[in-house]
Chain A
Amino acid sequence: MSETHAEHEAPRSFIRRYIFSMDHKVIGIQYLLAMLLLAVVGLALTVVMRWHLGIRTVLRPETYLSLMTMHASLMFVVVTVTPTSAFGNYFLPLQVGARDMAFPFLNMLSFWVALAAGLVLLSSLIVGAPISGWTAYPPLSAVGGVAGPGLGLGQTLWLVAVALLCVSSMMGALNFIATTLNLRTRGMSMMRLPVSVWGWLTAAVTGLLVFPVLSAGGIMLLLDRLGKTSFFVPSGLYLGGEVLPHQGGSPLLWQHLFWFFGHPEVYIVIVPSMCMVTHIMANFARRPIFGYRYLVLSLFGFVTLGGVVWGHHMFVSGMSPYSGLAFSILTLFVSIPAAIFAISWLMTLWGARIQFRPPMLYCLGFVSLFISGGVGGLFNAQSSLDIYLHDTYWVVGHLHLLFAMAAIFSVFAAIHFWFPKMFGRMMNDTLGTIHFWFTLVGAYIIFLTMHYMGFLGHPRRYAEISQFDFLKPAASAHTLISVVALITAGAQILFLFNFFWSLFAGRKAATNPWNSTSLEWTLPNPVPFSNFERDIPVVHRWAYDFELPGGAQDYEMQTAPGPSMDGQTGKGVPTEKST
């Protein structure tokens, strides 16, 4: 029984090779391109919304709300899957030294289901997108069209898309875990894995545990909508001039189920981002990662804490104040693994000879955004302060700084870093640098201003602010944000241009242009169908042996024998005889 594709020939036909491909590299690129497309749509929605909020009122309130819902949902589909599914798919098998994923067919299925999820989501935009936000809190989302426009068919399609996403993510997660555990090459012990692999593994484990919960919640919500059950709908709701037939459900149940998924979901995005950044940063700092073991430990911390802090989204939701207390304290503890990462980055950079190439710039931007977003979280985590900050623009600013901006910076870093291996060409450094500065400054101005608007008590999801006197001072802030957001969104054209131009006209890349250490850089461009053309190389060290004393070059590939700085030399390394 063998499922590796070393034993079958590379498919010849175009369709089997590039469309319905089971090759993890093709699937990785498919993910990347599909998600770039969806991200552009999501960004376009932002442009419309910012135009409406800060420059001229052009939308109906319900249109604003549907655009907002679609923006969040699309980005959440996109951002969720990109760090893991695009880069994880392409580079996890390469970095652990495998010929493919453990389940190539499941991998293909996972992509097509994810794509279907994205398309169904887009189709809900056409029939009238829901206005219930990406959290889809019932009863608004559960009782159908009587609650508002878009809550009929649009909301149902939205739910179908979410269900598809769950299925796709579960298949992906299963595959990632099996591959990491089962397909490592000789000498690649768990403590020698590149940190990026650890990140993908962590995301997969988290995903495997929480996506089923969302899908169960989704089934119940779908039944509430289509089967007229009342899981999330209490008795005696009066909507649209009549009393609804539902009886006895609890809207809070959905919030519990949703956030049990929703909070770890943030880690599913940010943890692989952090890990990819750590990996890339070590390369451009030419320094071994500081505290690799602690990083791995703190990943376990993220998974564990991620599963027990969902209640901090519900401090004012009407759940028991005692649980609020518990969730608040637990949430503050999340700062520990996060700080371990921050300290590791700082220490890795300290005194390093930094090469300021675009991948590194994005990593540095990531760290800065991560610190800013992270300290903001210390405010929300305190239940008493969250009474004020909850559901205000503070939260919008906070989540975008971390969940959106930091994550997208890691994606930019990864694209610039791995582009040569994926497409055999280099991206343009100058364009990358300009794009970096525009995006970083833009992100800070936009989202720090939003934090600041939170002080006013500006509720989020407001289509207009003219009604309230206490929001009058926010009008100029909205204009500022909109202008900067339009410029920043415009700057993304630089990136898209750089990406597509380099795809065809970039400088041809060498096998290992960044003098990097992990296994993918031992492979020729383009990477052959079964990755390692002959035997899979044996690994003798971790991926962060930079600046070794006394070496001829300032790095050692993982395949190079000899003493390493990973503290495990001699352990688990096969003797020469056995190769």
Chain B
Amino acid sequence: MSLRPWFPLVSWSSWAWLALLASSLLRPLQAEEGGEVTGQVLFEGEIPRPKRIRMNADKECDKMHGETKVYFDNLVVSEGRGIRWVFVYLHGVKGEYPTPADPVQMLQKGCGFSPHVSGVRVGQKLEILNEDPVPHNINCTAKFNKPFNETQSSGNRKEQVFTNAEVMVGFRCDLHPWMGAYCGVTKHPFFAVTDEKGQFTIRNVPPGSYTLKAWHEELGSQGAPVTVTAGASQAVTLTFKGGQ
């Protein structure tokens, strides 16, 4: 059996077309029924100085960055006090939602995980790729899913499916101890990760009352009640206190 090199291209693109078609059919339907939760996660207290990663611990990692300084991503606060990398999700969602076929990607790149925080659905593929010329290690410290711990050589692709909801599944690379990532595993699609300004948007939420939960690697988690009405946007602001 020999496959032409264009075969995966065609098959993937046809899947993509199908997905696009399906989503274009579904979206107007949901938009009418669902509401939207947006907001911002803010930091209170003295904004900590970002800490530099000593990349020279691994010469090859150092080479990738040249003179650029790299900082830890554990607590990133913007000038407007928005906290980046907060995982926000709705608690108390009922009903079944189809699992997307596309995988969520997590890269090991430049001796760091990218994205640092992401979300994946139960049953959806999480694809971990090592794009660096050096080997990494994926140490997944899941509690409610099967943990695993293995070396990932340069260019290797690993696919993982989680069977239980878990916020958050931690990932580390023990070969480069400054590397860490988190992935929230949820049963429904109503989650988001805050951006540089600490802002997030969760779309197409079926009307109802929920708890909006926010999780941060170092600051812990908190929740706030939200009530979503169809076609409306609900704005929520959450505040984490730092330096306790």
Interface set of A (CB-CB < 8 Å, partner B): 60-62, 145-146, 148-149, 240-242
Contact = CB atoms under 8 A, between A and B. Distances in A.
B150 A240 contact: no
A246 B169 CA distance: 23
Contacts of B150: 60, 62, 149
Contact of A242 (B135, B141, B180): B141
B148 interface: yes
Contacts of B148: 149
A522 to B, nearest CB: 60
A242 B170 CA distance: 10
B78 interface: no
B14 interface: no
A148 B175 CA distance: 12
Given A145-B149, A242-B141, 12 more contacts: A60-B150, A60-B151, A60-B153, A61-B151, A62-B149, A62-B150, A145-B147, A149-B148, A149-B150, A240-B141, A241-B170, A241-B180
A148 B174 CA distance: 10
B105 interface: no
Interface string B126-144: 0000000001000101000
B151 A146 contact: no
B153 A146 contact: no
B166 to A, nearest CB: 14
A77 to B, nearest CB: 27
A145 B146 CA distance: 11
A241 B180 CA distance: 9
B156 to A, nearest CB: 9
Contacts of B153: 60
A241 B141 contact: yes
B172 interface: yes
A60 B175 CA distance: 14
A427 B151 CA distance: 48
A240 B151 contact: no
Nearest to A151: B149
Interface string B16-33: 000000000000000000
A309 to B, nearest CB: 36
B149 A149 contact: yes
A148 B172 CA distance: 12
B201 to A, nearest CB: 29
A240 B169 CA distance: 11
Contacts of A61: 135, 151
A146 B147 CA distance: 8
A62 B135 CA distance: 13
Interface in B168-184: 170, 172, 180
Contacts of A146: 141, 147, 149
Interface string B160-204: 000000000010100000001000000000000000000000000
Contacts of B135: 61
Nearest to A242: B141
A38 B172 CA distance: 37
B167 to A, nearest CB: 15
Nearest to A147: B149
Contacts of B170: 240-241
Contacts of A240: 139, 141, 147, 149, 170, 172
A399 to B, nearest CB: 27
Nearest to B141: A240
Contacts of A149: 148-150
Contacts of B172: 240-241
A62 B147 CA distance: 16
A152 B173 CA distance: 19
Contacts of A145: 147, 149
5 contacts: A60-B150, A62-B150, A240-B141, A240-B147, A240-B170
Nearest to A64: B151
Interface string B57-70: 00000000000000
A570 B38 CA distance: 106
B26 to A, nearest CB: 38
A79 B139 CA distance: 36
A568 to B, nearest CB: 64
A60 B151 CA distance: 7
Contacts of B151: 60-62
A149 B138 CA distance: 11
B85 to A, nearest CB: 16
A241 B151 CA distance: 17
A61 B156 CA distance: 14
A393 B148 CA distance: 31
Most A-side CB within 10 Å, residue of B141, B148, B149, B150: B149
Contacts of B141: 146, 240-242
Closest 8 CB pairs of A and B: A240-B141, A60-B151, A241-B170, A149-B149, A241-B141, A61-B151, A149-B150, A148-B149
A66 to B, nearest CB: 11
B140 to A, nearest CB: 9
A242 B168 CA distance: 13
B216 to A, nearest CB: 15
Most B-side CB within 10 Å, residue of A62, A149, A240: A240
A67 B144 CA distance: 29
Nearest to A148: B149
A148 B138 CA distance: 11
A145 B170 CA distance: 15
A124 B24 CA distance: 51
Contacts of A60: 150-151, 153
Nearest to A146: B141
Contacts of B147: 145-146, 240
B146 to A, nearest CB: 10
A135 B48 CA distance: 45
Nearest to A57: B153
A436 to B, nearest CB: 41
Nearest to B172: A241
Nearest to B180: A241
Contacts of B180: 241
A62 B141 CA distance: 17
A149 B149 CA distance: 6
A60 B158 CA distance: 14
Contacts of A241: 141, 170, 172, 180
A505 to B, nearest CB: 46
A241 B172 CA distance: 8
B154 to A, nearest CB: 12
Contacts of A62: 149-151
A241 B147 CA distance: 13
A240 B151 CA distance: 15
A218 B141 CA distance: 27
A148 B148 CA distance: 8
A60 B172 CA distance: 18
Most A-side CB within 10 Å, residue of B135, B148, B150, B153: B150
A240 B143 CA distance: 11
A145 B148 CA distance: 8
A240 to B, nearest CB: 4
B57 to A, nearest CB: 13
A345 B63 CA distance: 61
A241 B153 CA distance: 22
A240 B170 CA distance: 9
A270 to B, nearest CB: 37
A472 to B, nearest CB: 15
B60 to A, nearest CB: 10
